[in-house]
Amino acid sequence: MALLNILTYPDPRLHKVAKPVAQIDERIRTLAADMIETMYESSGVGLAATQVDVHERLLVMDVSEERDQPLVVINPRVVWQSNEVVVGDEGCLSVPGFSGDVERYAQIHIEFENERGDTHKLEAEGLLAVCVQHEMDHLIGKVYVEYLSPLKRGRIKTKLLKEAKEALREAS
């Protein structure tokens, strides 16, 4: 297994739209395993392939306390969502050091394939429902900061660009 590099906002590659996974094979299983390792290493609850610069519809999640229930979600389709919405404070491994309030459906049901190619249905609520929607947004090139006010988004962008420039200068 290997740790993968996570793209940082406002990297334009975070806005690419992912294509469906055409074949669930060893390449996809290795990618999923590496993404799970990267997610745990970064203390995240979810990671989308887009964030590691692979533009295919695959994401991993683990919202368990023990961090021992990884879920691999391939080609997710929303089959139902609640009328009820919730607002919660979200963060993202691609937007380090920030968080912001985002409105999401309180419950969502999806269908997807797992890493063995079996079709599963997931009825999600609470943190898992929020996580599903956050990660599925990544697959259509959407980062949660796009839900924030232009002022707050601009502030985040400026700060992260400055940090990236400083990191580059230190490395050279």
Q: Is residue 102 part of the contact set for Ni ion (CB under 5 A)? A: no
Instruction: Let me know if 118 is exposed, middle or buried by CB neighbors in 10 A (0-12, 13-18, 19+).
Output: exposed
Active-site choice (65, 113, 135, 170): 135
Q: Which residues ranging from 10 to 39 are in contact with Ni ion (CB under 5 A)?
A: none
Q: Is residue 103 annotated as a catalytic residue, yes or no? A: no
Say how far apart CA 61 and CA 31 lie, in whole Å.
Answer: 14
Q: Candidates 5-13, 85-93, 97-105, 164-172 — which segment interacts with Ni ion by CB under 5 A?
A: 85-93
Piece in contact with Ni ion (CB under 5 A), picked from 11-19, 35-43, 67-75, 87-95: 87-95
Cα three-residue angle 5-10-15, rounded to 5 degrees? 85
**Considering only CA atoms, which of 91, 17, 22, 23 is closest in space to residue 54?**
17
Nearer to Ni ion, 21 or 60 (CB): 60
Interface contacts to Ni ion, rule CB under 5 A: 92
Which residues have a catalytic role annotated? Answer: 135
